[in-house]
Structure 1
Amino acid sequence: MTEPKAENISAVPIDGFSNVRITSLWTFLMSVQWSEPWLVGLLLFHVVCLCVTVVTCKFYRAQICHFLLMVGLVYSAEYLNELAARNWRSFSNFQYFDSKGMFISLLYSIPLLLNTVVIVMVWVYRTFSTMTELKTLQLKRRLRREKREKSD
């Protein structure tokens, strides 16, 4: 009586150069032409960000600035996606910038967010270390005080 609904295959995007249906993250990443100069630059940018994250572990204020910069870049990803979607012909061979922002989320925002997570983990570790040191000093002080009171 009721006919089975036809699958809406137009909802599955097709990449621009191999006409392979993109159905998973892997097929999406394999459909990207990684030799484009701006993609190489983006990957180098992420490597530099990771290096700055590691180097600034000992410099708290620099790490705060780096953290805020990366969060600001993630916040601006939607605007950057719109700008890149309008002007992709000037720097790319293919239109990667979809209206849902999948490409910019995967290759721009997620690596930046992973860097910020590393920074937050470093901050949590430092906080726990400081709290442990503080508690140890408090216990030592209390033991010295009790020892002094016993000797009086």
Structure 2
Amino acid sequence: MTVNKADNISSIPIDGFSNVRITSLWTFFMSVQWSEPWLIGLLVFHAVCLFLTLLTCKYYRAQICHFLLVVGLVYSAEYLNELAARNWRSYSNFQYFDSKGMFISLVFSIPLLLNAVIIVMVWVYRTFSTMTELKTLQLKRKARREKREKND
């Protein structure tokens, strides 16, 4: 007597409210109930962070503070995931916070890291601009010196 076992597909997570197998980012994002108030608040938070990132482009010290705050939030994502997993019933209809941190990484950390990348790109651009400006001034100063020496 042989008993056939079903294929083990338990490695593919099942969405909590629609019982859909999550096989891609698209199915993951479609399985999230985006109308929950805390998720709307999270989206507003990310919009405000992006606005602050763009607003602080001209203010170096404010941008440093914003960058450190963003990186600190990303660093604390693991702890936030544990806290949210323990208390999800108080603010959510579904348990989104898995032990591997996929949900918090996709909806919390990645947008914050994109803000950090934008800030670093602004810093690199400003550094290159300053270096170009400095080299131009050095070449002008050298040309004036050579012209002065030639006239003397």
C-alpha distance in 2 between matches for 1:11 and 1:17: 18
C-alpha distance in 1 between matches for 2:118 and 2:10: 39
- 2:41 equivalent in structure 1: 41
What letter is aligned with 1:123? W
What letter is aligned with 1:10? S
**Superposition map of 1:3-152 within 5 A:** 7-152=7-152
What letter is aligned with 1:126? R
Gaps of 5+ in 1: none
| TM-aligned CA deviation for residue 8 of structure 1 | 2.5
Q: TM-score, normalised on structure 1? A: 0.95
Deviations 1:96-128 (A, max 9, x none): 000000000000000000000000000000000
| TM-aligned CA deviation for residue 7 of structure 1 | 4.3
C-alpha distance in 1 between matches for 2:100 and 2:6: 24
Give % identity: 86
What letter is aligned with 1:71? V
Gaps of 5+ in 2: none
Deviations 1:45-76 (A, max 9, x none): 00000000000000000000000000000000
| Count, aligned residues | 148
> Tell me, what secondary structure is at the counterpart of 1:10?
coil
| TM-aligned CA deviation for residue 6 of structure 1 | 6.7
C-alpha distance in 1 between matches for 2:150 and 2:17: 84
| TM-aligned CA deviation for residue 11 of structure 1 | 1.1
Deviations 1:1-59 (A, max 9, x none): xxxx9743111111111111111111000000000000000000000000000000000
> Tell me, what secondary structure is at the counterpart of 1:11?
coil
Q: TM-score, normalised on structure 2? A: 0.95
C-alpha distance in 2 between matches for 1:64 and 1:102: 28
> Tell me, what secondary structure is at the counterpart of 1:74?
helix
> Tell me, what secondary structure is at the counterpart of 2:93?
coil
